[in-house]
Amino acid sequence: MNGPQKRLSASLHPGVLPDMPYHLLMKEKYWASSSGDTYGIKYLSSDDILQGPFHGTPFEVDVKEEVYTLSDRMVVRDSKNGMPVAVIVRMILRLQTTFKIYTFTPNADSQVPSRNQKYQGRDLYEFAICQHGWHSLRRTMRTVAGDEYVTDAVGDALDGEIEVTRNGEVCTHMRSHNLGLCTGNQWEITIPPGVDPVLMIAFRAIMDEMNEDL
């Protein structure tokens, strides 16, 4: 099913450009909703880190968990109009913790829609599968185009810093900024040019869900 890989941000705001670096703060809105986790994302500057979390301009997407459904899923949405961009679904009855990312249009030549997954009556097409390695802190994500993303801790695992590699090359750096109880998880995410920021946001949300299973 390999073919040209499509960026998750292809149909979003034109400000999500493919060849720009991104420095973002992703924050779990701890008390925002009784129906599941919500993750807000904002652009971040060095001044914002000094001032405290969430002082920047909202990024073009957010992530909303939907728990009152037949399956545990999250929706990546356009943050301005709430329209869905991608759907993340936890796979049940798997030996490993497994999530899949789906989009609303095909991601490879002749790709057919999922037989088991729909969103509000709309067809879904598999974009990537994410898994938690056995007895390991590593998480992996493989796209239908054949790219493999792997997480590795940087330095002391308790520091909450990880690197994401794409096909063996470092492509994203994530650092935890948890400031206290009841504040929700938050991460500083640094993404170089040529890496899809929306995909990295989706991967980070999946990692957080996997951490809750530990």
* CATH classification of the domain holding 144: 3.20.90.10
- For tokens 């420095």, what's the residue? 23
d(Cα 106, Cα 47) in Å, to the nearest integer? 40
Tell me, yes or no, whether 2 lies in a domain. Answer: no
Tell me, yes or no, whether 7 lies in a domain. Answer: no
Tell me, yes or no, whether 173 lies in a domain. Answer: yes
- How many domains, in total, are found in the chain? 1
Tell me, yes or no, whether 126 lies in a domain. Answer: yes
d(Cα 40, Cα 26) in Å, to the nearest integer? 6
Tell me, yes or no, whether 8 lies in a domain. Answer: no
d(Cα 23, Cα 19) in Å, to the nearest integer? 13
Average pLDDT, the chain: 83
Statement: residue 211 has pLDDT above 60 = yes
Compute the C-alpha angle 138/93/153, nearest 5°: 10
What's the length of the chain?
214
Mean predicted confidence (pLDDT) in 70-94: 88
54's enclosing H/E stretch is: none
Total-model pTM: 0.87
Tell me, yes or no, whether 90 lies in a domain. Answer: yes
Q: How many CB atoms are closer than 10 A to CB 41?
A: 26
Tell me, yes or no, whether 11 lies in a domain. Answer: no
Q: Which domain holds residue 31?
A: 19-212
Q: What is the pLDDT of residue 53?
A: 45
Tell me, yes or no, whether 60 lies in a domain. Answer: yes
172's enclosing H/E stretch is: strand 169-176
Question: Given CA atoms 115, 119, 122, 127 in this order, what sign does their dihedral have?
Answer: negative
- pLDDT more than 70, % of the chain: 79
Select the more confidently predicted residue: 163 or 182: 163
CA nearest to 8, candidates 78, 71, 56, 109: 78
